[in-house]
Amino acid sequence: MENKTNIKFGTDGWRAVIADEFTFTNVRICTQGVALYLKEALLEGAGMVIGYDTRFQSAEFARTAAEVLAGNGIKVYLSDRAVPTPVVSFAVKNLSACGGIVITASHNPAGWNGFKLKSADGASAPGETVARVEKLISALNHNSVKTIPLQQGLENGIIKSMDFAPAYNAQINRLLDLSAIRHSGLKIAVDSMHGAGGGYLKSLLSNSMCRTTEIKSEPNPAFPGMKQPEPISANLFQLSETVIREQADVGLATDGDADRLGIINEHGDFMTQLQVYALLAYYFLEVRRERGALVKTLTSTSMINRLGEIYNVPVFETQVGFKYVAPVMIRENALMGGEESGGYGFHGHVPERDGLLAGLYFLDFMARTGKTPSELLERLYGLVGPHYYDRRDIVFNEADRKEIVGRMGSALPGSISGIKVLRKESTDGFRFILQNGSWLLVRFSGTEPLLRVYAESGNLDEVRLLLDNGVHMAGVQDTI
């Protein structure tokens, strides 16, 4: 029997390389820790939802988790197929469960898998819950695990196999009148990146005047043609080509578990996640005439702050990770929450990212205004001014982490790229706020062995210079 790994939850769940640390033994131990937490908190009576993505062995890992929960006397609602994470999140809320488990590594490379833990509201489990689960796990080994065979659990009813899609689809139709999109005649290209979102958008827009062209809709755990199933510019060349070839009005891409959205405009150009978040916020405030707080991570766009000023709505900023965004969304009854990675959550749904719903809202924005994505961005820039953004991901040696932190911690430049530094913040990484409204951030990824350097400015050349300066300050080699 293999030794237990030191299981640690990052920005969103525990993720590790399959067969190295992400093993059946470790999934059992991790699930046993969750079961102990539920019993300790007297939450187990409502049952747990379990879903999984299209990665290698995800279905088997999910069934293993179900066997452990059932072995601990906890009812399980187990998805009968690979399913997007937002569909699982809504199932938790819809079934009034005490929480959920999603076997997914989201946008990580093909060799990885992961274990996302959801709270009763469908959001990522809060930090205090995760900390307690980690502590319980640390005291366990394979002999501590209680389990029953899957078939026995299905026969005695403690495990129930379910299709979560119908309830989710009904929720979508409650949140959004799809008639404007269906009658718009939009030509839409969809890239599901061989992940769990395959077929969902096309199905929701069936029997309409829209023409939907799908690519990479079939599951493939190898995610061929991309480093990882993340809807960023480097991975969307084929979607861009499809938009141009099909003369589509827009291209929509979802990541491996469909909680993130990427957009290609009508010219085949990638729209940054910061542009998309600002456009979606603008859609709610201007087109839908809704009001409420906006929540953003510190890596997201300052356009949100400007929209908050213009429409007189509060804006709240959090650390990176939707587990920080969700509690503020709940507390403030927020209109929307978003992050730089392309994850957006919405009022009236679950306080969690939903790439499918975000894509539909963007289509509704186009349908109701009759504008193309580039025209919508031009309209937004006319209101808040132009904003450009980019990010660099750099593989670093873990042994150098302390040295990098030391360099960034001691860095106190009076100016960067010739622009005066107003202040330096260290809430999550090291962020420099500049006099002209630009900003530069250097931080470690919470899910991958990467150092990330981010910048936003009103000038694209300035963004590149800021990124160069960030890489130089950190003292790392830009390899990606």
- pLDDT exceeds 90 at position 385: yes
- Per-residue confidence (pLDDT) for residue 22, from 0 to 100: 96
Three-state secondary structure readout of the chain: CCCCCCCCCECCEEEEEECCCECHHHHHHHHHHHHHHHHHCCCHHHCEEEEECCCCCHHHHHHHHHHHHHHCCCCEEEECCCCCHHHHHHHHHHCCCCEEEEECCCCCCCCEEEEEEECCCCCECCHHHHHHHHHHHHCCCHHHCCCCCHHHHHHHCCEEEECCHHHHHHHHHHHCCCHHHHCCCCEEEEECCCCCCCCHHHHHCCCCCCEEEEECCCCCCCCCCCCCCCCCHHHCHHHHHHHHHHCCCEEEEECCCCCCEEEECCCCCEECHHHHHHHHHHHHHHHCCCCCCEEEECCCCCHHHHHHHHHCCCEEEECCCHHHHHHHHHHHCCCEEECCCCCEEECCCCCCCCHHHHHHHHHHHHHHHCCCHHHHHHHHHHHHCCCEEEEEEEECCHHHHHHHHHHHHHCCCCEECCEEEEEEECCCCEEEEECCCCEEEEEECCCCCEEEEEEEECCHHHHHHHHHHHHHHHCCCCCC
The answer to whether residues 309 and 196 belong to one domain is: no
Is the same domain home to 453 and 395?
Answer: yes
pLDDT value of position 377:
98
The predicted structure's pLDDT at residue 3: 55
Q: Is residue 142 domain-resident?
A: yes
- Does 1 have pLDDT greater than 50? no
CATH code, domain with 392: 3.30.310.50
Q: Is residue 372 part of a domain?
A: yes
| CA contacts within 13 A on the Cβ side of 49 | 32
Which residue would you say has higher pLDDT here, 367 or 411?
367
One domain, residues 247 and 333? no
Domain count, the chain: 4
Range of the domain at 297: 272-381
pLDDT higher than 50, residue 89: yes
Residue 423 shares a structural domain with residue 393: yes
Task: List, for residues 123-149, the tens digit of each pLDDT value.
Answer: 999 889 999 999 999 999 888 999 999
Average pLDDT on 448-472 reads 92
Within a domain: 76: yes
pTM for this entry: 0.92
**Which of 233, 252, 271 lies at the terminal end of a domain, its last residue?**
271
Q: Decide which of 166, 196, 216 is a domain's last residue.
A: 166
Judge whether residue 384 has pLDDT over 50: yes
Residues in the chain, overall count:
480
pLDDT for 2: 54
Q: Rounded CA gap, 308 and 304, in Å? A: 6
Residue 171 lies in a domain: no
- pLDDT at res. 477: 73
* 213 plus 282 within the same structural domain: no
176 domain residue, yes or no: no
- The whole-number pLDDT of residue 448 equals 75
pLDDT, the chain, mean: 94
- Over residues 106-122, the mean pLDDT reads 95
Q: What is the pLDDT of residues 10-19, one digit of tens each?
A: 878 999 999 9
Asked if residues 43 and 18 have their Cβ atoms less than 8 Å apart, the reply is no
Tens digits of per-residue pLDDT, 419-435? 999 999 998 899 999 99
Q: Is the pLDDT of residue 219 over 50?
A: yes
| Same domain membership, residue 159 and residue 20 | yes
In one letter, which amino acid is 474? Answer: A
pLDDT at 10: 82
| 144 and 214 housed in the same domain | no
Which of residues 26 and 1 earns the better pLDDT score?
A: 26
Given the DSSP bridges, would you call strands 336-338 and 294-297 parallel, antiparallel or unpaired?
Answer: parallel
- 179, part of any domain: no
Confidence of residue 237 (pLDDT cuts 50, 70, 90): very high
Residues 291 and 377 occupy one common structural domain: yes
The pLDDT value recorded for residue 5 is 67
For helices 303-311 and 373-384, the axis angle rounded to 10 degrees is: 70
Of 255, 271, 287, the one marking the end of a domain is: 271
pLDDT of residue 397: 85
Give residue-wise pLDDT tens across range 315-343.
999 998 888 999 999 999 999 999 988 99
Residue 472 has pLDDT above 80, yes or no: yes
pLDDT at 220 over 50: yes
Q: Are residues 334 and 406 both part of a single domain?
A: no
What pLDDT, on a 0 to 100 scale, did the predictor assign at position 427? 86
Considering the domain architecture, whether residues 46 and 57 belong to the same structural domain is answered as yes
Mean pLDDT over 187-193 rounds to 98
Does residue 204 register a pLDDT over 50?
Answer: yes
Residue at 354 is within a domain: yes
CATH number of the domain within which 300 lies: 3.40.120.10
| pLDDT average, residue stretch 371-385 | 97
